[in-house]
A = this chain, B = another copy of it.
Amino acid sequence: MKFGVIGTGMVGQAIGGKLVRLGHQVLMGARQAGNAKATAWAAAAGPAVGQGTFADAASFGEIVVNATAGAASLEALAAAGAANLAGKVLIDIANPIDPASGRPPTLRVCNTDSLGEQIQHAFRDARVVKTLNTINDGIMVEPSLLPGGHTVFVCGNDPDAKAQVVELLQSFGWPATDILDLGDITAARGTEMYLALWLRLWGATGTGNLNVKVVTAT
């Protein structure tokens, strides 16, 4: 399949690289075509990848991945173009960290709203699925790096879009039993607000190579 990856950072490169290894075609989009990171990454990643603008990536992809910093996501997706996103699965991996916040970082939106909801609201014809924002870039695409089972969350308003994302996550190596559907896009409040705990878990355990496993009574 063809994927457009919006964003050239570690998450975009991790997702893009995994997609290429799985045999997909990827176009990585940046604010401007010829972005140094995107160009270097595309050259290293081989002939199945290209680079261009946010709009090029959104236009190219049958599925589009928002891998920008959360504070820049709405602007980047606006540049990508609502028409280029219409009808498509839009996988949102971003966390709305306020870049002006100190330590610990705070969120720009939370509690009564979320970035996932803001994106769905701004791009009504895209089928937004929030996932993977609670997991670092290495584990996202190689869940077996952590021992035993651990959980990845998905949420969104469109059941078919979620089903496509669940299938994609399984191709990344996530067992079906470890993929938990939290419901509609308002659940993004939960997975985004969890970032505050996630950062503390990193501090307490000394590694960002961490995740949580949801455990219930049997």
Contact: A146 with B215, CB < 8 Å?
Answer: yes
Assembled-state Cα–Cα distance A214/B146 (Å): 11
Within 8 A of B (CB), among A147-204: 147-148, 150-151, 153, 155, 180-183, 186-187, 189-191, 193-194, 196-201, 203-204
Partner of A182, one of B193, B201, B212: B201
Contact: A197 with B205, CB < 8 Å?
Answer: no
Contact: A213 with B216, CB < 8 Å?
Answer: no
Which label, helix, strand, loop or mixed, suits the secondary structure of the A interface? Answer: mixed
Lowest 6 A-B CB distances belong to which pairs? A190-B197, A212-B212, A209-B217, A193-B193, A190-B196, A190-B200
CB distance from A187 to the nearest CB of B (A): 5
The yes or no answer to A53 lying at the interface (CB within 8 A) is no
Q: A111-B106, A111-B111, A180-B204 are in contact. Are A216 and B212 (CB under 8 A)?
A: no
The yes or no answer to A107 lying at the interface (CB within 8 A) is yes
Q: A104-B189, A106-B111, A111-B111 are in contact. Are A214 and B201 (CB under 8 A)?
A: yes
Most chain B CB neighbours (cut-off 10 Å) among A155, A180, A217? A217
